[in-house]
Amino acid sequence: MEQFPRGTAAPIERIQDNLIARVERRALNRLCAAMPGWVTPDMLTFTGMFGALLVFAGYLASNLDAGWLWLSIGGYVVHWFGDSLDGSLARFRKIERPRYGYFLDHSCDGFATMLVVVGIGLSSYVEMEVALIALVGYLLMSIHAFLSVRVLGELRLSYLNAGPTELRLILIALTLAMFIAGPERPIVWQLNIFDLFVGGVGLLLIALFAAQTASTARRLAKEEPPAHRRRD
């Protein structure tokens, strides 16, 4: 359990039921135990940001040579290492700074996601307009997660049995497909198979946001009925 940011009344319940959560947790616990004392959670947070910059640079440079896509793939690994381990290390060492960590971690997550998605859009494989649909979907789901922290005391880290790690694996697979297949010809309008995949993921996230918003609103409506009903 993590503490709410100041001004709220209850602890945050972390909800994570993605497919590889248990395997990942065991790996992170081992890495935490093996981490040298001079490594701090903040260092890992900025390591994750460096990984996102590598992803961005790889996609951008792939316009010159497809081999640069390997830099993006390596960047995803570095980003996973830093982003997944920073909070885990703080909890392992019992040195959590809940408000500071909450603010810094999610701020960096948003910026890192922007780098990744814009990098994909700047490559020759996916149209920028399509990539931005995926970015909108991610940001909407982030808004939902942050609102849920405030009104429900829940921080949901996965949806549809998928979380950040599964998403990174999907993006690595997508990047490998880009390297193997090269820029694809349009299939529908001016959209190729990579456009359709990235755009489809974005539309799925937008639809999931709408469904989760409706579900949460119904739950809150039951917990907080109108004043005249409470008096009855």
Bridge partners of 188?
Answer: 191
Q: Per-residue pLDDT tens, the chain, 232 aa: give them.
A: 344 444 444 556 666 666 677 788 888 889 999 999 999 999 999 999 999 999 999 999 999 999 999 999 999 999 999 998 998 999 899 998 888 988 998 899 999 999 999 999 999 999 999 999 999 999 999 898 888 888 877 777 667 667 788 889 999 999 999 999 888 787 878 899 999 999 999 999 999 999 999 999 998 888 888 876 555 5
Model pTM score: 0.85
Rounded distance between C-alpha atoms, residue 93 and residue 117, angstroms? 33
pLDDT at 18: 66
pLDDT at 38: 94
pLDDT at 11: 58
pLDDT in tens, 63-97: 999 999 999 999 999 999 999 899 899 989 999 88
pLDDT at 150: 83
- For the chain, the C-alpha Rg in angstroms (whole number) is 20
pLDDT at 117: 96
Look up residue 124 and give its amino acid: S
pLDDT in tens, 96-123: 888 898 899 889 999 999 999 999 999 9
Bridge partners of 190?
Answer: none
Beta strands in the chain (DSSP E): 13-15, 154-156
Domain spans of the chain, in order of start: 13-231
pLDDT at 2: 42
- The token duo for 9 is 């009344």
CATH of domain 13-231: 1.20.120.1760
Burial class (CB in 10 A: 0-12, 13-18, 19+), 40: middle
pLDDT at 6: 47
Q: What is the DSSP letter of 191?
A: B
